[in-house]
Structure 1
Amino acid sequence: MHFCPTCANVLLVRTDRSPHEFFCQTCPYVHPIERVVGDRTILQRKEVDDVLGGAKAWENVDSTPETCPKCEHSRAYYMQIQTRSADEPMTTFYKCCNHACGHQWREK
């Protein structure tokens, strides 16, 4: 991004003229583009926290008769977490009791 030296707004690129130019929408500033302008910065991704608390969160939860949508096992572990504002209902998360499956889903 390039900024206007006069009013500090973001400069836009006009490509309908030759040479192309940077121009400001709020003041009459115009600057011709004389060379290729580019810079690439690869951003480091942040480590994402598991909102469900990871594997340890499922250690002491109860199970309920809920059918797994993946393997159709008849029971699933469940936990409820407040993911939205306080006036909204809690979200129920499920994990299949079949250890070979272990599919996780949330209540729709």
Structure 2
Amino acid sequence: MLFCPTCGTLLLTEKTIVDFRFYCQTCPYIYLVKQTLSKKVTLERKKVDDILGGAEAWENADKTETVCPRCSHPEAYFKQIQIRSADEPSTLFYRCGNHSCANQWNEN
């Protein structure tokens, strides 16, 4: 994507009989393409916050008797979090009670 250096609008492409060009639909700017254009931009991933609060949030969570789907441990910590609109039910999140497993899953 190229932008107009005059007004900042996204440039459109057009193939004419003679040439290929970028043009601005807002102002009279035209850029004739004389060679192949290539530009590679690597995107950096943003750090995403853990919606469950990280490991510290599970320290005071309540425990229940439910089986971990990964290691079959009989106990798990649980929390209810409202992640959808207020008229939808809360989502129940679990974390395995076996600290070496620490698998997390949810129940809608």
How many Å apart are 1:11 and its aligned residue? 1.0
Runs of 4 or more off by more than 6 Å in structure 1? none
TM-score (norm 2): 0.72
1:71-102 residue CA offsets vs partner (Å, 9 max, x unmatched): 12222110111212222221111001122211
Distance 2:16 2:101 in 1: 58
Q: Which residue of 2 aligns with 1:73?
A: 73
Q: Percent identity?
A: 48
| Distance across 2 between alignment mates of 1:103 and 1:17 | 62
For 2:39 and 2:5, how far apart are their aligned partners in 1? 18
Q: Is the 8 A contact 1:81 1:91 kept in 2?
A: yes
Paired residue for 2:31? 31
So what's the TM-score if we normalise by structure 1? 0.72
Q: Which runs of 5+ in 1 are unaligned?
A: none
Give the number of equivalent residue pairs.
Answer: 107
Q: Unaligned 5+ residue runs, structure 2?
A: none
